[in-house]
């Protein structure tokens, strides 16, 4: 019986997606890309899912890159199509109306780092390594690596990582702003799930509004971003969760949010 490409588990509003190709260090081929695209589309639709955690199976890799064996034979047109396929999937993650946390348990290289950067938050084990090594294959990043790195850590660090292709430690990635937290490898799952459950208990429509504001603000002028934030702020006043949250504060109790 063939093992599924993605292992899925849902508990307490948190859906965990685990890429399941440990023998290939969870490398991204077309099948995995399509499976991830479908899984995130389903997570967006499912009202029981409030947060998604993405990780890789096995002890060595989150995702060690795109599948080189598959890419080796591609024509220029097929290469462009492969790039667009991965970019569309990662853009879906980036624009998901629910928080997505990358749990980086090992190597996140090439397409793996690109996948992690498309998530909203990134927690890395202290043993993890990240990088964009495409230059060593005579390639460039194809799933948004040059663009998301530029936005996360600036021009100098982006050029260093992409031009040298050298991997960096999780601690260095934290210093550059590529990951949000670095924790001992033994604590990675516990720390990630603690954060995921914290977010799952928050007001879903407020989370969605925040994600929208950051996504829009990152691609427009400050004036446009401020206008959009004010509009989203006003819309939140139409939600039951806003009334519940403010009422709970005044009554000095913990709020219960329903996503309405």
Of the residues 31, 48, 114, 160, only one is catalytic, namely 114
- The 121-125 sheet, strands edge to edge: 6-11, 14-19, 51-56, 100-104, 121-125, 181-183
Determine the 3-state secondary structure of 47 from DSSP.
coil
Active site residue 31: no
Cα(171)–Cα(181) distance, integer angstroms: 9
Tracing tokens 């969870």 back to the chain, one arrives at 26
Phi, psi at residue 112, to the nearest 5°?
A: -70, -45
Active site residue 134: yes
Phi, psi at residue 132, to the nearest 5°?
A: -120, 85
Cα(85)–Cα(139) distance, integer angstroms: 17
Of the residues 42, 134, 224, 244, only one is catalytic, namely 134
Long-range CB pairs of 185-194, under 8 A, 24+ apart, other chains included: 185/105, 185/125, 185/126, 185/127, 185/128, 188/103, 188/105, 188/123, 188/124, 188/125, 189/103, 191/123, 192/53, 192/55, 192/101, 192/103, 192/123, 193/14, 193/53
Which residue numbers are catalytic?
Answer: 114, 134
């Amino acid at each position: 019986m063939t093992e599924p490409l993605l292992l899925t588990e849902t508990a307490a509003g948190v859906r965990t997606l685990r890429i399941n190709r440990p023998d290939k260090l969870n490398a991204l081929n077309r099948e995995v890309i399509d499976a991830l695209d479908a899984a995130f589309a389903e997570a967006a639709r499912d009202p029981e899912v409030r947060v998604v955690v993405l990780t890789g199976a096995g002890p060595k890799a989150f995702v060690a890159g795109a599948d080189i064996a598959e890419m080796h034979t591609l024509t220029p047109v097929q290469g462009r199509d492969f790039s667009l396929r991965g970019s569309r999937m990662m853009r879906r993650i980036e624009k998901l109306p629910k928080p997505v946390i990358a749990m980086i348990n090992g190597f996140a290289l090439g397409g793996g780092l690109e996948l992690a950067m498309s998530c909203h938050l990134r927690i890395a084990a202290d043993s993890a390594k990240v990088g964009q090594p495409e230059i060593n294959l005579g390639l460039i990043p194809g799933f948004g690596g040059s663009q998301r790195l530029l936005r996360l850590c600036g021009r100098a660090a982006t050029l260093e990582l992409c031009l040298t292709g050298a991997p960096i430690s999780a601690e260095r990635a934290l210093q550059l702003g590529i990951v949000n937290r670095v924790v001992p490898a033994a604590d990675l799952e516990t720390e990630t799930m603690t954060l995921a459950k914290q977010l799952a208990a928050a007001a879903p429509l407020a989370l969605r509004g925040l994600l929208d504001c950051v996504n829009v603000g990152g691609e427009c002028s400050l004036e446009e971003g401020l206008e959009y934030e004010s509009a989203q702020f006003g819309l939140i006043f139409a939600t039951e969760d806003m009334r519940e949250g403010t009422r709970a504060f005044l009554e000095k109790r913990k709020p219960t949010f329903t996503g309405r």
